[in-house]
């Protein structure tokens, strides 16, 4: 069983990244042997459509399941259409997330758990809310 985990780093000891579309890396792991590779996520710096492009990219890696903190509706739809199960609400170390999934502690999600554009980290920006024009 091949699993993709949104990750903050490139090893099994790194944290699960709570963002799917804008995570820095994905760990692609064989849950049975714990062999793994990492890939950089091209959606990490995308201006828009990161969830869709990331989901399309990940679907090309012949995985069964995605483990992540949050997954929006567009990415969820692409993954589901590709027959990939999505598990949201995942946190902690990548290795622990894999073990928790294998032991049945993590359950497959039946819908996205955040609205679209959730991971864009919009802030006030320069001059906003201060009366500047």
Judge whether 123 lies within some domain. Answer: no
Residue 74 lies in a domain: yes
Going residue by residue through the chain, which has 133 residues, state the pLDDT in tens, using 9 for 90 and above.
Answer: 999 999 999 999 999 999 999 999 999 999 999 999 999 998 888 777 888 999 999 999 999 999 999 999 999 999 999 999 999 999 999 999 999 999 999 999 999 977 665 555 543 333 333 333 3
Q: Using the 8-state DSSP alphabet, how is residue 33 labeled?
A: T
The range of the structural domain enclosing residue 39 comes to 2-110
Q: Is residue 116 part of a domain?
A: no
CATH code of 56's domain: 3.30.420.130
pTM here?
Answer: 0.84
Domain count, the chain: 1
User: For residue 54, with 0-12 CB atoms within 10 Å meaning exposed, 13-18 middle and 19 or more buried, which class applies?
Assistant: buried
Residue 122 lies in a domain: no
Q: What is the largest CA-CA distance in the chain?
A: 58
Indicate whether 131 belongs to any domain: no
CA 117-58-48 angle, to 5 degrees, is 25
């Amino acid at each position: 069983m091949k699993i993709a985990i949104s990750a903050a780093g490139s090893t099994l000891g790194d944290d699960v990244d709570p963002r799917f579309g804008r995570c820095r890396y994905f760990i692609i792991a064989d849950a049975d042997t714990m062999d793994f590779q990492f890939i950089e996520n091209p959606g990490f710096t995308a201006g828009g459509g990161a969830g869709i492009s990331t989901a399309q990219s990940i679907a090309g890696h012949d995985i069964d399941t995605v483990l992540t903190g949050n997954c929006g509706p567009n990415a969820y739809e692409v993954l589901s259409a590709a027959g990939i199960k999505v598990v949201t609400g995942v946190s902690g170390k990548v290795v622990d997330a894999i073990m928790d999934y294998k032991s049945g502690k993590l359950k497959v999600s039946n819908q996205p758990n955040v609205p679209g554009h959730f991971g864009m980290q919009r802030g006030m920006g320069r001059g906003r809310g201060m009366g500047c024009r």
